[in-house]
Structure 1
Amino acid sequence: MSQGTWQGAVGPRRDGAAVELAGVGVRVGGGRSLVSSVDWRVEYGSHWVVLGPNGAGKTTLLSVAAAVRHPTTGTATVLGHRLGRVDLRELRRHIGLVAVGRRLVDEELMEEEGLTAHQVVLTGHTGTSVPLWDRLGPAEHDRAHALLADLGCKDLATRHFAVCSQGERARVRVARALMADPAVLMLDEPFAGLDLPAREDLIAALEDLARSRPSLTTVLVTHHLEEVPATTTHALLMRDTRVQTAGPTQESLTAETLSACFSRPLTLTEAGGRWYVRATRTP
């Protein structure tokens, strides 16, 4: 099948991986590389964290995995469909995405429209900035209420989104991303701007989701190890646009791999399934 030819009905194909990248590179004007020669396979039901310093290429990598952009080189297969041979708009209906950089314009409109948290979650059903009421029935309203409850914020249903705290907004965003019942949930720095209690509330909510939805695949991008949920099964470490290591957390999250990734000696501590890191001080 030639490049640009769409494959029939777009839906998750469970006979392969949720995401499979082979030799993926992304270049921008002037030939500058944002991602270089990445091979990565994300199995259904796994929970990944993508770690690395600023500028490593984490967000760009996630944008390819989330079917937001095409790779410049290599092949990217998402939910069983190769990018370039599928209608990305249809494919993205099966991908829940929470991205700090992409939320601002939509949320400004939501605030201007005076949407409540419940109404914001409803917009996830159609992927729009405001509810399309003719496409929303009792089932969708019930699902939105259930998702708010699952994220520990059912009491926010009637509260205007504009007056929600940053922590409350973060959980409402995740509920909205789950509204279309995606096969994979991708989160790009969802903890940005959160204080410690709000961070811990969101981590607890993500851990509960992983336990209650065993078929849901998740990918979290961050550069803070303290934000990684205990339910995380795999880690990918990036530096200078390339993957340094990727695999199960017990193999890929070590003091040695993290020190190499962040270019300084680090001490890693694990407690209760969570990870904590600090710079190693020399005498």
Structure 2
Amino acid sequence: SLRALQRVTVPLSVTKLDTYAFSDCGNLESVQFSEGLEIIGERAFRGCTELRSMIVPSSVTELGYGAFGGCTNLTEVILLGGGRLLNQGFLKRGLFSGRGVLNQQALNEIIGHGNALRDCPSTNAFYGCPLTTLKISISRSLPERMERLPRECRLSIEQRVHGLRRLELTQDGNILVCFSHIRGPSGFFNGSSNLYAVEDTNDETAESLHQILRLISFHELKESSILIELAMWKSSLVEDRAPADSRTSVPDPAKSLIMDYCGFTGFLEPAIEGD
């Protein structure tokens, strides 16, 4: 029977899990979703008390009411939809963007309106779970910038990530940003204490991520300046060589960073793209 299941792998062909799909499967310990799943229905995993962690693919756009309600051992949830759940302006400019890192509206649309403390707890996908932190993966653009850096630069950034409480580095090189999952006050809404909010308390997550963004930009600018120095040195070796033969290309995004740093991005961008 379904209630005897211990592990479930949801295939690529499944785009929706229906209401109560695996409800009260008390022996279920592991669920592996595939990219392509879009909806996890209401109370789909309600009462699966052996679940301890959950990774939700980026393709999921909706977690139904109480989808994981009453999963009393579920302490870790990772949402892979960082491209949608995090403000992309922040990932480009950090605290200078004037916006927080969490896209609260997009998060509410996925995990239910119970994400706001004023709403009914039963609308939250994780009501009754002992979650203290919700983790969201950053879009691949940031790890890709790290991968383009020399090894010693990457190690420096990874070491800094390990030292920041609100960031985690996964084995595949991705970065998770962590947000507090706060239980509402006891007695709120007819005595319920299962009401939650997801918050960046004191902007701690934003501050941590801003540090990493600055460090990546620093190493990119440093490496690009070395390339420029090499190009100048190369051109000075053979004075009679044509200037075109002495050029050394500066890779993106270092090129854009230099232009942005100098305030020339909007003015010279067409020339950069046509290089």
Normalising by the residue count of structure 2, what TM-score does the alignment of the two structures yield?
0.29
Which has the higher Rg, Structure 1 or Structure 2? 2
> Which structure is higher in RCO with an 8 Å CA cutoff and minimum separation 6?
1
Normalising by the residue count of structure 1, what TM-score does the alignment of the two structures yield?
0.28
